[in-house]
Each structure stands twice: as structure tokens, then as C-alpha cells.
Amino acid sequence: MTSFPWQAGTATGVGSYPGEDPAEALRIVLGELPDLPHLPELPARGPGADLAGRTAGLLVEMPVHLEPSGWRFSDRPGRDTQRSRDHLARDLDVLEELAGAHDGPFKIQVCGPWTLAASIELRHGDRALKDPGAVRDLTASLAEGVAAHVADVQRRLPAAQIVLQLDEPSLPAALAGTVPTASGFSRLRAIEEPIAEEALRTVIDATDAYPVVHCCARNVPYNLLRGAGAKALSIDLRLVPRRDDDEVGEAIDAGIALLLGAVPATDAALPPLKATAEPVRDLWRRFGFPPRQLAEQVVITPTCGMAGASPRHVRAALKRSRETARMLHEAAE
């Protein structure tokens, strides 16, 4: 029987939140998601707090700076790289202060290598994704930086089990050859699946954290992510078509956990509790797995990050995620 870091009937968040106060955001997470809290990301603070800039600050000997077009590699570290590192350092200080005694699973999020390569430009302006050598260098640098980051979080939360989420929203586009060039007038060549899998595996294998890959896009490459070593997949439940049933069913049968986005991540009237849980049950029924297994193997989340939501909706959505997870667990007992 596969074991998971969390207990049955657990909910968590995806990553981003509105606002600029890391202490306030973390208190909300710890209060609403006690069984699997995570480190909130606050992109409203500006450059360096966004997904790509935040992770770029972890890169080893690959500094970045901001251009009007976005992040670009630099010859030497400057104020933009330092700003990214300062944001994260403050977040980790707050984490240690508020959650240093946490003794369960705790999730942190970083940008995966393919989304990062699609987000950062080379010095001459093309996306790093265009250059296989640049991608290899970026992947090695990211693996080293993520390993140091996980070790730092573990030092601050000595009793916690670290869950590492790699965010890869751009991976399906990279595989399909639909990532635009820097000019936007054409598309970059498709990445071969074995190469994509190897890069992801390099980052996953760099730490002993429990690995999750988040992909809130269509055409999630389930088998590739499993092959790379992901033990859990974080996906938007609305974007799981029946054509994916074989790959999803094989992943569940192999003991892969699913972090299912079942609660609206942006301001909207939340459906009734039973209506929130029903699509999760429907997915599970399609495969015929036992209900008790659902409560253990599935974690309920909002559909994606919540940076665009109001603080009021954030609290309501996290509470609904927790209530849905608990309801599914109780129904299975």
C-alpha cells in the first residue's frame, strides 16, 4: 500500500495569494489548511515575487535582470536578482517565526525547468527554451539551487516533511511546439519527451523532498511526469477530459497522488459543498477505485493560484477545499 505524507481528507493551496504581507498570508494558510500548509507566494509585491523571478533568484551562478520584455540572464548579479532573493529571505524568516514547530507535511513551490526556460531570455533576447545548451545549464543550476532551498526550509522547520511542488504550466506548450518566440511572430521547436523528462528528473532527484508537479494546463503529460519521478500531480479538475482516462487511471493505480483543483480560484459564488465534491467522486467512479482510497490519495485544492482573488474569497475557497476533503473522507469511512 502506498503511503502519503498527509492524512486522509486533506486540502492544500496551489501557491499564490493576493496582498503583500507574507505574515498575514501565512497565518491564513496555517489556519485554513492545517494538515498540509504551504509557503504562500505574493506576486503583488512586484518583480522578483512572481513565479519566474522568485525561482530565478535560486539559480546558482546564473543571475538575471529585468528588461521591458521580462526576465533575462545577466553577466553578474544586480538589484533585480537581489530583490528576488530578499523577498524569499523575508518569507523564510516569517515561516520560521510562525511555523517553526510544524511537525507534519509542509509544501513549498518553485518554477519547474521548462516553464522557467520559457520565461527567461538569453542575453541576446531569445527565450532560453530555444537553446538546448542553455536549458541544460539552467536545469543544473536550478537543481543545485532548489536543493539548497529545500535544505534551508528543512532547517527552519526541523520536524516537518517537506513537499516540493514544481510548477510547470508551460510544459504542455513546450512539448507541443506552441511556445512563442520572443518576437511573438513564430513558435519554438517542440521539446522531445525524453529530454523533458530527464530535465524534470534532474531537479526532482536533487532533493529528498516529496515531489509534486503542478500543471494547470490542458494536455497534462501524465506518463512523462510519472517517469520523471513525480509522486503527486497537481491538476485543474475542470481540464481533465475523458480522453486522458487511461493515463490518469494508470497514475492512480501506480500510487500517484492527485492534488485536484475543485474549488474556484478567482472570485465567484462557490457552489454548494456537495456540488463541489461531486466532480471528484465522478472522476473516481470512472476508474472503479475504492472510495477509501480516494480520501487518502486525493488532496483537494483551488483550481489554481489565487493571486487574482479577493482576500475574502481566498478564505472562503480554502475553507471550502478543507470541507470538501473532509466530506469525501467521512463518506468513505
Mean pLDDT by 10 residues, the chain (333 residues): 89 97 97 97 95 96 92 92 96 98 97 97 92 98 98 98 98 96 87 98 98 94 97 93 86 96 94 94 89 93 96 96 95 74
pTM score, whole prediction? 0.96
Residues 50, 54, 55, CA angle at the centre, nearest 5°? Answer: 125
What is the separation, in whole angstroms, between the first and last Cα of the chain? Answer: 18
The residue with cell 456537495 is 274
State the cell numbers at 247: 493515463
CA–CA separation, 209 vs 149, rounded Å? 11
**pLDDT of 18:** 97
**pLDDT of 239:** 86
In the sheet where 257-263 sits, what is the strand order? 105-111, 161-167, 210-214, 232-236, 257-263, 298-302
Partners of 233 in the β-ladder: 213, 258
Q: What is the pLDDT of residues 258-280, one digit of tens each?
A: 999 999 999 989 999 999 999 99
Q: What is the pLDDT of residues 218-242, one digit of tens each?
A: 899 999 999 999 999 999 999 887 7
CA-closest candidate to residue 111, choices 193, 195, 52, 29: 52
**pLDDT of 1:** 57
Residues 235 and 258 sit within 8 Å (Cβ to Cβ):
yes
CA–CA separation, 146 vs 123, rounded Å? 23
Q: What is the pLDDT of residues 25-71, one digit of tens each?
A: 999 999 999 999 999 999 999 999 999 999 999 999 999 999 998 99
Pairing of strands 64-67, 70-73: antiparallel
Interior/surface letters 104-117, b for 16+ CB within 10 angstroms, e for the rest: bbbbbbbbbbbbbb
Contacts of 201 (CB under 8 A, 6+ apart): 227, 228, 229
- For residue 71, the SS3 value is strand
Element (H, E) at 90: helix 79-99
